[in-house]
Amino acid sequence: MIKNPILPGFNPDPCICRRGDDYYLAVSTFEWFPGIPVYHSKDLKNWELYTHVLTDDEEVDLKKLPSAKGIWAPCLTYCEEEDLFYVVYGVMNSMNARYFDVDNYVITARDIRGPWSRPVYIHSSGFDASMFHDSDGRKYVVSLEWETREGYEKPGAICMVEYDPAAQAIVGYPKKMWRGGTDRGCIEAPHLTKRDGYYYIMCAEGGTGYNHCVTMGRSAQVWGPYEKDPKNPIVTSVPGESYERHDPDHLKPRYYNPESILQKSGHGSYVELPNKEVYLVHLSARPFVPELRCTLGRETAIQKMMWTEDGWLRMADGSNLAKAEVPETSLPEVPVSEIPDFDDFDGEELGNYYYAPRMMPQRFADVSARPGYVRIRGQESRTSLNKVSILARKLTSVYARITAKMEFTPEVHQHSAGLILYYDNMNYINLRKYYSETLGQSALSVICLENGEKTEFLNTRIPVEDKPVYLRLYIEGRNSWFEWSYDNEKYEKIGRVFDTTKFSDEYCRYGEFTGTMVGLTCADRVKHEHYADFDFFEYIADETRDVN
């Protein structure tokens, strides 16, 4: 059996495609770099982090964008006729006054690992844009055309426009072509495919919250009209009909289904195997209950599907409830390399599983300056939307232990470095070493930022020597806390126990749609040059345990 989620932690909006015997899956990254991870599998069960599509943080400039903006819902497709990979992605620039100002781009590559072409601007007509390659060689872009006018149904309708690859431009203006296959409302995430003479449109409906689902429609003509699948939704966490077109809110916690392990199931993309087996990937979430807070963010799950005799896509078990365990494919199992628990930074390059907000990690993290260490150069405060030195990886379980060995000698109080649990620039906890003018020496203390309100726990401040120190973060379900040691054997607890559930879409007021990260951080708020050396970073997570 395949156990869901196949990609735990912050891995939303999955899009899957096949090239020969290889399967590739891309997900959203929002404000994080490198952008658009691509996972690879031979059997749809074992997945490895293979590459990233966006690695130029000047060409794709995300600096100063608030949390949850940036790269939304990439569409990864492979055009067999051209032997070319396409990625369509949007850069969400602003959601002020619910205008959703987005720019959509397309890039191409012969090899999934690149090099990728320079981004070509498509349009700014809505988000979740995707590209369809028709059998006659024509190409179309579908997206959600975001509605801002009073008196019109929110959030809008699916629109489509032809794309001319020779001119690298759209042909005319996008036209509305689909308003959904249910009355759940909040339609988004359109994907067009073609099979046996029919064009199929797959969408997400209900909002990317607890009423989320996958729906389909079909037509004999690419422009429609499209008929609804009579069994919509085809995948969801909350079966049954609901009439929510009047409510543009995406979260809708009242639709939480206690009978389902996977919540928020929707935003799907399917792939057909050479033997005609069909699998669909979709986002899902596993909340703390009763808080209904998803600390791990939106994750990627997979479902086994089948085509009916009358040409509709269904879950293979005949239901439409997303399952935590799914039958495997008939493909031979192919193990893949996993992200290591222990990184001693002995390699010549930084691991591809490290991320940083709004810039490439290599801008401030160097594994060559001192062999066997990663040297992190300090920049602005962790609250900044500009240049922040946080070297992080995705939290994949709420049962984890994170440890690092650090050498750092702060010289002024604006110097600090340490370990961080980070949701966004307004929500994090940070165990840091810094220079205390009060004590006249280096010290350890914990800082918490909760929806923008900063608390420094000076009552638990500890003076420390300027020698190597071990920092540790424990995440045990709802409880998270820090410890420290000189010898990696005898640890002392520092600071209070924090509520893990607060690091979530549902609690954080300034960001949404992402997930919690853990990592190393350094700040030099004077000259942006003082650094900390980390000898190792250890991440041990128990992904077999349920969130609750």
Q: Where do the structural domains in the chain lie, given as residue ranges?
A: 2-326, 342-541
Per-state percent for the chain, helix, strand, coil, to nearest 5: 5, 50, 50
* Residues designated catalytic: 13, 188
DSSP letter at 30?
B
In terms of pTM, does the model score above 0.95?
Answer: yes
Residue pair 3/324 in contact by the 8 Å Cβ criterion? yes
Three-class secondary structure of residue 543 per DSSP: coil
Q: Which CATH superfamily is domain 2-326 in?
A: Glycosyl hydrolase domain; family 43 (2.115.10.20)
Helices (H) and strands (E) in the chain, counts: 0, 40
Counting Cα atoms < 13 Å in the Cβ hemisphere of 172 gives 8
Tell me: domain 342-541, CATH 2.60.120.200, correct? yes
Chain-centre distance of CA 36, in angstroms? 8
Whether the CB-CB separation of 419 and 440 falls below 8 Å is answered with no
pLDDT at 257: 98
Tell me if residue 492 falls in helix, strand or coil: strand
Q: Please list the pLDDT of the chain residue by residue as tens digits (548 residues).
A: 999 999 999 999 999 999 999 999 999 999 999 999 999 999 999 999 999 999 999 999 999 999 999 999 999 999 999 999 999 999 999 999 989 999 999 999 999 999 999 999 999 999 999 999 999 999 999 999 999 999 998 899 999 999 999 999 999 999 999 999 999 999 999 999 999 999 999 999 999 999 999 999 999 999 999 999 999 999 999 999 999 999 998 999 999 999 999 999 999 999 999 999 999 999 999 999 999 999 999 999 999 999 999 999 999 999 999 999 999 999 999 999 999 999 999 999 999 999 999 999 999 999 999 999 999 999 999 999 999 999 999 999 999 999 999 999 999 999 999 999 999 999 999 999 999 999 999 999 999 999 999 999 988 899 999 999 999 999 999 999 999 999 999 999 999 999 999 999 999 998 889 999 999 999 999 999 999 999 999 999 999 998 98
Neighbours of 118 (CB within 10 A): 10
Whole-angstrom CA distances from 172 to 130, 135, 163, 483 are: 17, 21, 9, 60
Closest CA to 493 of 476, 477, 510, 514: 476
**What span, in angstroms and rounded, lies between the C-alpha atoms of 199 and 401?**
48
DSSP SS3 for 253: helix
- The 10 Å Cβ neighbour count of residue 37 is 25
If one counts every other C-beta atom within 10 angstroms of the C-beta of residue 408, the result is 23
Asked if 57 and 119 touch (Cβ cutoff 8 Å), the reply is no
> Comparing 2-326 with 342-541, is the CATH topology the same?
no
What is the four-CA torsion angle of 340, 341, 345, 349, rounded to 10 degrees?
A: 30
Q: Please check whether residue 52 is in contact with residue 37, taking contact to mean a CB–CB distance below 8 angstroms.
A: yes
Residue 82 contacts residue 22 (beta carbons within 8 Å): no
pLDDT of residue 548: 85
**Which 3 state secondary structure label does DSSP give 457?**
coil
Spatial neighbors of 155 by CB under 8 A, at least 6 apart, are 144, 146, 147, 186, 187, 188, 248
Query: Which residue from 73, 74, 65, 146 is spatially nearest to 510, judged by alpha carbons?
Result: 65
Query: Which pLDDT value is given to residue 378?
Result: 98
Helix (H, G, I), strand (E, B) or coil at 24: strand
- Cis before 155 (ω within 30): yes
Structure tokens at 513: 């749609």
Q: Where are the alpha helices (DSSP H) in 95-245?
A: none
Give 463's strand partners: 443
